[in-house]
Amino acid sequence: MLRQTKYLSKHYDVQDGHRLSVYERDGGYQQAKRALQMDRQALVDDMKAANIRGRGGAGFAMGVKWSFMPWPPKPDRPHYLVINADEGEPGTFKDRTLMEKAPHLVIEGCIIGCFGIGAHAAYIYVRDELHLSKERLWGAIEEARAKGYLGKKPFGIDYPVEVYVHTGAGAYICGEETSLLNSLEGKRGEPRLKPPFPAQYGAFGMPTTVNNLETIAAVPIALEMGGDAFSKLSDLHNIKDGGCRLYGVSGHVNKPGVFEACVGLTLRELVYDLGGGVKHGELLGVIPGGSSCPIIRPDDVVDAPDPKSPLHPWHGKSALDVPMGVDTYRALGTMLGTCCAIVLSDKVDPILAFHNLMRFYRHESCGQCTPCREGSAWIFRILDRMVAGQATLEELDRLHEIADNIMGNTICAFGEGTAMPALGFLRKFRKEMEQSIRTKGKSSTGVLAP
Amino acid sequence: MTSFALSPERELEFEKILSRYPNRQAACIPVLHLCQEQHGWVSDEVIQWVADRLGLSSAHVKGVVTFYTLFNQQPVGKHQVWVCRTLSCALAGSDRILHHCEKRLGIHAGETTKDGKVTLRTAECLASCGTAPMMQVDKIYHEDLTIEQVDAILDRLTR
Ligand SMILES: Cc1cc2nc3c(=O)[nH]c(=O)nc-3n(C[C@H](O)[C@H](O)[C@H](O)COP(=O)(O)O)c2cc1C
Ligand code: SF4
Ligand code: FES
């Protein structure tokens, strides 16, 4: 259900909202100060109760992730908090708004996060192109340090915390957490095999928690409210998907943008109520949470007769009316991802949209694994031929095989992130593709931007 | 030793960068950015300098430079223009923006104008999808672009 909130975005429209004076006027840094005096276990328990599901795409429970850190920290094995602000998933533009407009919320979250996982240093990994974001984060760090909220004794409490901004250099794959860690260490950003997981062997070989930037920004809010109360903001509290979060919508809507709402918003509400409805015609499909999430069509109907399915309450209804949650969307056969949707109107040629995305994945594969490197290139080549009206029906079937062969056969989830949306397009637009092949491309509109 | 050297102000910044990490290798990417900011691109001399100063092999630094798209491995124009062409921007007409830039500048994406003023490139999603189409010019984002705005921007760059 649509319930807009103003916690993360409290200062988005406020003059100088990114400055410490404004942030503090509204109670900023009180939670960091309180957290540093809490019992660590109590803090982690409260964050578990908040049911903050990772906002970076995979939706893992943040509090549970914190609890994976070895305890107590060993003096020769310092812990690190690493914040993922690589924001590279096509269609995603939410973390940037926090960095630009609420940098102190991020820094406060980092202080609490450091304490929660036993770290004394946090690195915020920001993609290089986001110059204003980096500037705002550094500015907030300087302001906080000048006030004594960072450094050797934050708020006069004997728990040193430093926060640094680290920058990438243009590689989508560095958003994958182990690739990001290699990049932070000054190496090529190639993903690492897991296990070992970052909690055992992360940044600089030390125990590390990687949290998305929006995930960590939710922490001061959840702590102020109390974990359980925060979780209950959500319609999906019972299935451990709590709180409020940022939703983005771009593409063919009248009012694209980033909106904050309680978890449990539906795609229909995001597109029509927040996004102002579809422009350039009727709805063809929505890519719900960044380009790696399989597309949803408005005529998709929920098929969940089993009362145990998280989707059962919406059995027989349109997929657009299912609350956007980590588990509900997984059960739908897609993914919640970053909650930033891309809307396609029916003037769009779905083959061209598919082609555009697969070009992206071919370009961004790091090349370590053969199925990903060769598969992404092969998919793109066939789509190139399809767009030119030269593909055959055998090649259409080949696309399925190539995508299937990527699934489960790669070092990192980029492979699935390529194969799943490909399979999604293939399933949902099979008819259109067959027809395009039969007519040598004449049945396609050839339009992406009406 | 190499012929490259950082300016005194950048030397200070170099020390600041080093102080943030538990080892010198971690400074590699930020220091390469610092060098490129001064030199415009990452030459073999720059690679050798970074390797010497951070105690790394030049092969390691070269490996890093070739992995990341934002390190220029050749000299580039005075201004960098990147047109995003990923899906949200494509849905908003980034193709038209790119073609217009190519026509106006008389070059293809990936090339630099003869007078060395502008290098034009395509970019993948720059986290500006809600304000598509967009392009980045040096460190600045230009969003919700129209052809007229592109013209005004290019006028300024090529003047
Ligand atoms: C190819 C790929 C790209 C990713 N890009 C990002 C990204 O840009 N930002 C992000 O926060 N997480 C990204 N992730 C997810 C991270 O690996 C990781 O799950 C996340 O940072 C954990 O934080 P969270 O649990 O708070 O979401 C990416 C994953 C993959 C496989
Ligand atoms: S799956 Fe792709 S991106 Fe991930 S490690 Fe393998 S080749 Fe690299
Ligand atoms: S698609 Fe162009 S900024 Fe995201």
- pLDDT (tens digit, 9 = 90+) per residue, A374-415? 999 999 999 999 999 999 999 999 999 999 999 999 999 999
Coil, strand or helix at A401: helix
Q: What is the CA radius of gyration of chain B?
A: 18
Answer yes or no: do A251 and B87 touch at CB < 8 A.
yes
Quote the CA–CA distance of B120 and B101 in Å, as a whole number. 8
| Domain match, A127 and A227 both | yes
| Domain match, A302 and A425 both | no
The per-residue pLDDT of chain A, averaged, comes to 97
Q: What is the CA radius of gyration of chain A?
A: 22
- pLDDT (tens digit, 9 = 90+) per residue, A337-368? 999 999 999 999 999 999 999 999 999 999 99
- Among A285, A311, A345, the domain-final residue is A345
The two tokens of residue A214 are: 């929006």
Say if residue A60's pLDDT is above 70: yes
| Domain match, A311 and A270 both | yes
| A278, A343 Cβ separation under 8 angstroms | yes
The domain spanning residue A364 has which CATH number?
A: 1.20.1440.230
| Domain match, A359 and A337 both | no
CB neighbours of A42 closer than 8 A, spacing ≥ 6? none
CB neighbours of B126 closer than 8 A, spacing ≥ 6? A129, B82, B84, B134, B136, B141
Rounded average pLDDT over A120-144: 98
- Among A319, A345, A371, the domain-final residue is A345
pLDDT at site B1: 56
| Domain match, A370 and A309 both | no
Ligand nearest to the CA of A406: 2
- pLDDT (tens digit, 9 = 90+) per residue, B27-62? 999 999 999 999 999 999 999 999 999 999 999 999
- Among A345, A369, A392, the domain-final residue is A345
Coil, strand or helix at A242: coil
Residue A14 placed within a domain: no
| Domain match, A193 and A288 both | no
| Domain match, A123 and A72 both | yes
The domain spanning residue A272 has which CATH number?
A: 3.10.20.600
Among candidate residues A411, A432, A409, A172, the one with its CA nearest the CA of residue A291: A172
Give the helix ranges, DSSP H, for A169-272.
Answer: 177-184, 213-225, 227-231, 267-268
Say if residue B142's pLDDT is above 80: yes
Coil, strand or helix at A211: strand
| Residues spanned by the domain of A359 | 350-438
| Domain match, A30 and A171 both | yes
Domain boundaries, chain B: 8-67, 79-158
Domain count, chain A: 3
pLDDT band at B159 (very low <50, low <70, confident <90, very high): confident
| Domain match, A362 and A397 both | yes
With an 8 Å Cβ cutoff, is B86 touching chain A? yes
pLDDT at site A121: 98
Ligand 3 site residues (CB inside 6 A) read: A 90; B 84, 86-89, 125-129, 132, 134
pLDDT at site A19: 98
Quote the CA–CA distance of A44 and A192 in Å, as a whole number. 27
Beta carbon of A87 within 6 Å of any ligand 1 atom: yes
Chain B residues whose beta carbon lies within 8 Å of the beta carbon of residue A183: 29
Rounded average pLDDT over A185-201: 97
Domain B79-158 has CATH 3.50.50.60: no
- pLDDT (tens digit, 9 = 90+) per residue, A282-331? 999 999 999 999 999 999 999 999 999 999 999 999 999 999 999 999 99
CB neighbours of B8 closer than 8 A, spacing ≥ 6? none
Rounded average pLDDT over B99-114: 97
What's the CA-to-centroid distance between A410 and ligand 2, angstroms?
A: 6
Say if residue B3's pLDDT is above 90: no
Residue A104 placed within a domain: yes
* Architecture of the structural domain at B8-67: Orthogonal Bundle (1.10)
| Domain match, A339 and A358 both | no
| Domain match, A171 and A257 both | no
Rounded average pLDDT over B60-82: 97
With an 8 Å Cβ cutoff, is B74 touching chain A? no
Beta carbon of A292 within 6 Å of any ligand 1 atom: no
Query: Distances from the Cα of A186 to the Cαs of A167, A198, B24, B60, in angstroms?
Result: 10, 17, 9, 9
| Domain match, A341 and A354 both | no
What's the CA-to-centroid distance between A171 and ligand 2, angstroms?
A: 12
